[in-house]
A and B are shown apart, each in its own frame.
Chain A
Amino acid sequence: MKRRQFLKGSVAASAFLAAPALVRAQTAPIKVGILHSLSGTMAISETTLKDVMLMLIEQQNRAGGLLGRPLEAVVVDPASDWPLFAEKARELIEKDQVAAVFGCWTSVSRKSVLPVFKELNNLLFYPVQYEGEESERNVFYTGAAPNQQAIPAVDYLMSEDGGGVERWVLAGTDYVYPRTTNKILEAYLKSRGVAPEDIMINYTPFGHSDWQTIVSDIKAFGSAGKKTAVVSTINGDANVPFYKELANQGISAEDIPVVAFSVGEEELAGLDTAPLVGHLAAWNYFMSVDTPENADFIAKWHAFIGDESRVTNDPMEAHYIGFNMWVKAVEKAGTTDPDAVIDAIVGVSVPNLTGGFSTMMPNRHITKPVLVGEIQENGQFSVVWETPGLVVGDAWSDYLPDSAKLISDWRAPMSCGNFNVELGRCGGA
């Protein structure tokens, strides 16, 4: 009796002792890296994305985690410092052993972490609209490529509903995204029969705050008797003084509409929007979109952040889509091993917040609807136009001669991000 009891006890004890090791292997958290600037100039945009990732991870954990294991967020702060992005990415992958990274905002930060992701073979989900001309095996572009934002917006302005614009000002901040986007737009406008003298291109330095001369130039350019519009790739903080100057000089959206690719709900939150009513933005998501998915997302966001006045925006939706795609791909692959997930994620389809589904394409870009919205007094957008269906993100623009002949398909047997169809080989132009 005693011995049996002792035996029983020791079996139980050994089981009890052995269990944690076993359980730990199965329930050790899966780490997810979050690589967004929480200080410095980009903190204004990126802090929100960090918060939305924390919310998505928390929700996933409440729903039972992933592969039976909880998720654990590893947050680092690259402080708007581009080389630091690469260091922090390396730290996330090597030291913290994360399964995937969600992060970056500016193209230069993405370019800086690229070699790290290639070398250490990990996944980066990049949630911001960008200039295209890139397709890397380890990067998943969940934001818009130029054909998912810029070109449909221009199409709308050319249409009768958009005012039949014939004269174009392409105004941007002087760095890679506006320069490339404007190159694509210029080629596209010319292909649609716009004369070169009807296109004005203007670049300004980062954080430009004195817009008097440029706005009066735009005013003068717009008085040639043809309907004129401004396509703005002006970045970040420079937008506020730009819109203030437009309003002060009495340029309304009915005279010269401005369509912006970097102005969303978050940017408008710091502005008196009354004089901006009618100016446009093109995105793949607006907070005002009336779908049950979106209402649910906004409610959860407000509950998570504890502030009813916080807005949602397009890059947040991109992270929502990207995160769900990664979860689905991991479930499909049955492991978080990067190679397996990278193969599994192509073709994965998840609901977006505008009432449809987005699919990961073989070129690492996703399918999205394109919406054009007008700014309202309350800082929200009212959708005035949308593409009839989903638009597939195009890594290489068809309107640039060098990239028109490139295609990207990361499935075997091609497995190439820049296959040259003229030369019949991988490796770019």
Chain B
Amino acid sequence: MKIVLCLPFRPYLAALLMALLVVLPAAGRTAGFEELVERLPHGSYADRAKVIDAISRTGDPRAAEVLNALLEGRLHARKDDGRIVILVDSAGGATAIDALSGENLGGVLAGSTEKIKTNNRLRGMLRTAIGALSLMSPDRETRLMAAQSVFASGDPANIEALDAALAAESDRQVATALAEARAVAILDTDAPVEEKRAAVAILRARGDAAAQAALAPHASDPAIGNEVREALSRIEQAQRVWAIAQNVWYGLSLGSVLMLAAIGLAITFGVMGVINMAHGELVMLGAYTTFAVQEAIRGAAPWLFDWSLLIAAPLAVLVAGSVGIAIERGIVRHLYGRPLETLLATWGVSLILQQAVRTIFGPNNREVGNPSWMSGAFEIGQMTVTWSRLWILIFALAVFFALLLVLRRSFFGLQMRAVTQNRPMAAEMGIDTGRIDALTFGLGAGIAGLAGVALSQIDNVSPNLGQSYIVDSFMVVVFGGAGNLWGAFAGAFGLGITNKLLEPWTGAVLGKILMLVFIILFIQKRPRGLFALRGRAAEA
């Protein structure tokens, strides 16, 4: 206004002011941005929230980078002069880049800078702010992520940016995400009822939990309440159907874990009739082998990390298998036909193994990382499938069929079946029964070790790992019917799926109790389990 008033007086001044008029807003904006960034390290989280909000409104081209660094914890303040720097990892440690000028300030010593802290609330804000700033990014993935984080915030302030982005968007998936983000934001404004109805329809089409969360607060809105309630009930209905599919998937996944844990026991207990209480500890040894392999890889060859499980698998078979053979040769073979003594002796072995691992590796949990191909999840419709669980299921099936092949098709399998079915006759035929016993026990133990490799991905790697699986393993083998691999297969998946279908109704504790009651009743009725052996083998 002042400028307009000045204009008639001095033409040259007017020219100067015109020049200023062009420069000023930009200059003012820049100064504001710089001042705001300098203010970031100071004050409480609430103050920082205001500053972040202000920074995102400056429209400064550097804003996205600074906010992103703050989100990732790379924005630091130098302790000596308070300069705000962005730390970038480089070959010889971290390098500092001036957050404002972009000037490279060289390497930084650890402890010479202080991280500008964020909390959950600030990180949520930052993600939205960065999202709004990167809606026009040339990279498709970035735009998609941006649309999703704007969706999560539902902030009406972003509608303008969303409209602009929608107009420019050519990719269909991104455009849908943008429209959904816009729909959430519209619901919180005074937009006309028609527009809000359209927004409800868009969210109804999306139909997932996030859409539900966005719609739920508007269920009692006088203008669009009916539509919202209808959309919510539709979404809930669809989710109920998906929930059943999800539970069956969880059941399959639990079943695969149970089968992995039990399949080694199906050989030692099921086929050989040895009650091996140290079975769980053999699983634990497999898990610790994975840990040791990963440690070695971290130290020597980090690029191999994604292959660590494949390297660990044969080693785990070797470690657990040889411990198994040692147990058989040292203890179990002297106790054949004396199940009670075997039980006590192997239980003693389990305690020894536990304490040995505790002494060597310490009592604490050990960190076993997930390779990149086993991290995260993907969605099928409204169902989440985690990669680690999927791979474990595939792995369990692979182990099962490989074992089946060994028993049915290989010469060793033939000898093994001969020895377990009729020991004196097998010995007469020239089979070294002692050697076959040791190898069979070793095979069962080695497979327990393989199970340990897989279980290290979803459970704790601690000396207690084995204890949590021993009861479940016996449960599966007894339920499925001793002496039959298919019994273990059916037992594991049957128990897994039943357990997971029960759990939503009864809770985890009661679910487990009900399972055990069910098994007790079942065993009363069919003492030999699901797949009882018939004929002469059953008499043995």
Residues on A close to B: CB < 8 A?
A: 38-39, 41, 43-44, 47, 160-163, 174, 202-205, 207-210, 212-214, 216-217, 219-220, 222-226, 237, 240-241, 244-245, 248-250, 253-255, 257, 266-267, 269-272, 278, 280, 374, 376-377, 382, 384
Contacts and interface: CB of A to CB of B under 8 A. Distances in A.
B45 A270 contact: no
B458 A241 contact: yes
B363 A269 contact: no
B367 A270 contact: yes
A209 B246 contact: no
B212 interface: yes
Contact of B509 (A161, A205, A267, A280): A205
B507 A203 contact: yes
Interface string B109-136: 0000000010111011001000000000
B370 interface: yes
Nearest to A201: B507
List 6 tightest A-B contacts by C-beta distance, closest first.
Answer: A270-B365, A225-B216, A223-B209, A223-B213, A248-B386, A43-B363
B250 interface: yes
A213 B120 contact: no
Contacts of B210: 223
Interface centre among A207, A210, A240, A257 (most CB of B within 10 A): A210
A219 B209 contact: yes
A161 B117 CA distance: 13
A266 B364 contact: yes
Given A248-B388, A250-B384, A270-B460, 8 more contacts: A161-B119, A209-B468, A210-B253, A216-B384, A222-B209, A225-B212, A248-B389, A376-B73
B389 A212 contact: yes
B368 to A, nearest CB: 9
A348 to B, nearest CB: 33
Contact of B117 (A44, A217, A382): A382
Contacts of A202: 507-508
Contacts of B367: 269-272
B76 interface: no
A272 B368 CA distance: 8
B504 A163 contact: no
A278 B120 contact: yes
Interface in B39-73: 44-46, 73
B363 A44 contact: yes
B377 interface: yes
A257 B120 contact: yes
A75 to B, nearest CB: 15
Contact of B364 (A214, A244, A270): A270
Contacts of B358: 39, 43
Contacts of A41: 464, 467
B462 A216 contact: no
Given A43-B363, A207-B468, A219-B209, A248 B375 contact: yes
Contacts of A160: 46, 121
B5 to A, nearest CB: 44
A171 to B, nearest CB: 10
B217 A225 contact: yes
B45 to A, nearest CB: 5
Contact of A237 (B253, B460, B509): B460
A162 B467 CA distance: 39
Contacts of B467: 41, 207
Nearest to B208: A223
B512 interface: yes
25 contacts: A44-B364, A160-B121, A205-B508, A208-B508, A212-B500, A213-B250, A216-B250, A222-B209, A222-B213, A223-B212, A225-B213, A237-B460, A240-B460, A245-B386, A248-B375, A248-B377, A248-B386, A249-B384, A254-B127, A267-B365, A269-B365, A270-B366, A270-B461, A271-B365, A271-B367
B503 interface: yes
Interface of B: 44-46, 73, 117, 119-121, 123-124, 127, 152, 209-210, 212-217, 239, 246-247, 250, 253-254, 257, 354-355, 358, 362-367, 369-370, 375-377, 384, 386-389, 458-464, 467-468, 500, 503-504, 507-509, 512
A213 B365 contact: no
Nearest to A257: B120
Contacts of A255: 152
A255 B151 CA distance: 13
A278 B119 CA distance: 7
Nearest to B46: A161
A203 B508 contact: yes
Given A163-B121, A213-B247, A377-B73, A270 B209 contact: no
A310 to B, nearest CB: 9
A384 B364 contact: no
Nearest to B124: A254
Nearest to B250: A212
Contacts of B117: 382, 384
Candidate in A208, A209, A213 with the most chain B CB atoms within 10 angstroms = A213
A6 to B, nearest CB: 60
A213 B123 contact: no
A260 B386 CA distance: 24
B504 A213 contact: yes
A205 B365 contact: no
Contacts of A377: 73
Contacts of A250: 376-377, 384
Contacts of A272: 367, 369-370
A224 B365 contact: no
A266 B364 CA distance: 8
Given A161-B46, A174-B509, A237-B365, A270 B119 contact: no
Contacts of A214: 503, 508
Given A241-B458, A270-B460, A270-B462, A161 B215 contact: no
Nearest to A379: B367
Given A223-B210, A241-B460, A205 B73 contact: no
A134 to B, nearest CB: 25
A286 to B, nearest CB: 14
A208 B499 CA distance: 13
Contact of A204 (B216, B389, B468, B509): B509
Given A43-B363, A174-B509, A220 B464 contact: no
A278 B509 CA distance: 29
B126 to A, nearest CB: 9
Given A207-B464, A210-B257, A216-B246, A374 B209 contact: no
Contacts of A248: 375-377, 386-389
A275 B10 CA distance: 64
A205 B512 contact: yes
Contacts of B464: 41, 44, 207, 237
A233 B358 CA distance: 26
A244 B509 contact: no
B459 A278 contact: no
Contacts of B214: 225
A273 to B, nearest CB: 9
Contact of B119 (A43, A226, A374): A374
A259 to B, nearest CB: 11
A213 B503 contact: yes
A276 to B, nearest CB: 12
A244 B247 CA distance: 19
Contacts of A163: 120-121, 124
Given A161-B45, A225-B214, A254 B365 contact: no
A213 B216 contact: no
A255 B463 CA distance: 34
Contacts of A271: 365, 367
A270 B213 CA distance: 34
Nearest to B125: A254
A244 B458 contact: yes
B280 to A, nearest CB: 12
A254 B123 contact: yes
A204 B508 CA distance: 5
The CB with the most chain A CB atoms within 10 A, among B123, B124, B364, B369, is that of B364
A384 B215 contact: no
